Amino acid sequence: MNQLFEFLFGQYNTYDTLDIALEIIAVLYGFLSVWFSKENKIWVFPTGMISTAIFVYLLFKWSLLGDMMINGYYFAMSVYGWYIWTRKVDPTHFTPITTTTRKEKNYSIIIFVATLLFVFVVYKVYDKWNDWTAYVDTVTTAIFFVGMWLMAKRKIENWIYWIVGDIISVPLYFYKGFTFTSFQYLIFTFIAIFGYLAWKKHLNNSLQPA
């Protein structure tokens, strides 16, 4: 048992107690944010903003620039999403769950490619392009950028991006030594699957004739 505990959490021996506590708090608020998203509740954004703000600080301190940019972007898109989700499309209805249009799919491709290029440049400028994790970071950053943009616009396809990105992030964060965050993404994967199914059901019900 001690060997298993050491394998999972041994890296935290060198971390500040405050940083460990902040990571756990950020993970807990991250859980809440994804759960509220699954439930189609507006609380997805304030809880997500708390989580991402903490992670921006921690990831900057740990020199994980790609991950830091993901969370900084999440924070900004949470502000945008909060506005979109509370905006009324008519006097009685708020922005509904919908599928992506062809135009939005094209924007998704543009965001994905632009993010790949941007993160690559940042890693080269800061001389961080020196490990295989940099390649994976670049791809997951692009995946999550698109997913967050689609979620802010209440598009059901956002869950597909979250599922793929979460699956990649589980072993990635464990390899980096952030076990709590790795566990977070493992649970996120399952929540994202159920989130997609829940939004799909909601969308189908809304499309049925009255």
- pLDDT tens, 66-84? 678 778 888 998 999 999 8
Higher per-residue confidence, 125 vs 196: 196
**Residue 173, domain extent:** 13-207
Residue 96 confidence (pLDDT) above 70: yes
Residue 6 domain flag = no
Residue 1 domain flag = no
Most confident of 2-16, 40-54, 120-134: 40-54
Compute the distance between CA of residue 121 and CA of residue 173 in angstroms, rounded to an integer. 22
Residue 150 confidence (pLDDT) above 70: yes
Q: What share of the chain is helix, strand, coil (3-state, %, to 5)?
A: 80, 5, 15
Q: What are the φ and ψ backbone dihedral angles of 89, each rounded to 5 degrees?
A: -85, -15
Q: What is the number of other CB atoms lying within 10 angstroms of the CB of residue 67?
A: 26
Least Cα distance to 66 among 124, 153, 8 occurs for 124
Residue 88 domain flag = yes
Residue 127 confidence (pLDDT) above 90: no
Residue 8 domain flag = no
User: SS3 of 94, please?
Assistant: strand
Compute the distance between CA of residue 40 and CA of residue 85 in angstroms, rounded to an integer. 10
Residue 3 domain flag = no
Residue 4 domain flag = no
Residue 31 domain flag = yes
**Mean pLDDT over the full length of the chain:** 86
Looking at residue 59, its pLDDT comes to 83
Q: Total structural domains in the chain?
A: 1
Residue 127 domain flag = yes
Is 75:52 a contact under the CB 8 Å cutoff? Answer: yes
Residue 7 confidence (pLDDT) above 60: no
